[in-house]
Amino acid sequence: GGDHTITYPILQALAAKHGPVGLVHVDAHTDTGDTALGEKIYHGTPFRRCVEERLLDCSRVVQIGIRGSSYDPDPHEYSRQQGFRVVPAEECWMKSLEPLMGEVRAQMGDRPVYISFDIDGLDPAYAPGTGTPEIAGLTPAQALEIIRGCKGLNIVGCDLVEVAPMYDVSGNTANLGANLLFEMLCVLPGVRTL
């Protein structure tokens, strides 16, 4: 739960301990805006603030599922300029993400990594309970492939954000979010699973 702003202070604390960290970021949006409604700290700006404060190892940042509306003609430009790997949603449609996650594991290496999962990375058919839904997103099976594909990485933290139960009377979004968080706990270093 909570909006994506929460990732910013978490990464400040982790970078103070580990230095700049890698990031596996699942989202419909890059969240690298400069300002929104006149504010520098907003759920659409956390990763720009993280870059400015050198909290991220930009060569080890991957953003998966990016799509949807934007205020910029090239909404991925800032991310690419920083050295992020941007994987638009259309590159994920109708296929397994296991090969992608093999590449991500190689990119991340053995240094510290944070996982930040915005529920709007998933298609609103599966997760309508979010404030900024965007059509043509990832499936729950692909979400599992991404999270399970992080097993073996030096994960130092993770989050799942932007669940807004009041927008989903079925409760499916909260259920999906809870299950994805459980999956993240299962891939933390040292966790034994069957």
Give pLDDT, residue 12.
98
Q: Report the distance separating Cα 113 and Cα 104, nearest Å.
A: 11
- The string of pLDDT tens digits covering residues 98-130 is 999 999 999 999 999 999 999 999 999 999 999
Residue 192 has pLDDT above 80, yes or no: yes
The predicted model gives 155-177 an average pLDDT of 97
Contact 100, 141 (CB under 8 A): no
Tell me the percentage of the chain whose pLDDT exceeds 70.
Answer: 99
Q: List, in sequence order, every beta strand (DSSP E) within 27-107.
A: 56-66, 85-88
Amino acid at 48: R
Give pLDDT, residue 99.
98
37 by Cβ neighbours in 10 Å (0-12 / 13-18 / 19+) ranks as: exposed
- The string of pLDDT tens digits covering residues 169-180 is 999 999 999 999
Residue 149 has pLDDT above 90, yes or no: yes
Band of pLDDT at residue 68, cut at 50, 70 and 90: confident
What lies within 8 Å, CB to CB, of 23 at 6+ separation is 11, 47, 56, 60, 61, 62, 113, 114, 115, 116
Contact 52, 13 (CB under 8 A): no
Residue 13 has pLDDT above 90, yes or no: yes
Contact 155, 114 (CB under 8 A): yes
Give pLDDT, residue 114.
98
The predicted model gives 160-174 an average pLDDT of 97
Q: Report the distance separating Cα 86 and Cα 50, nearest Å.
A: 17
The fourth-level CATH superfamily of domain 4-187 is Ureohydrolase domain (3.40.800.10)
Band of pLDDT at residue 194, cut at 50, 70 and 90: confident
Give pLDDT, residue 1.
65
Give pLDDT, residue 35.
92
Give pLDDT, residue 71.
73
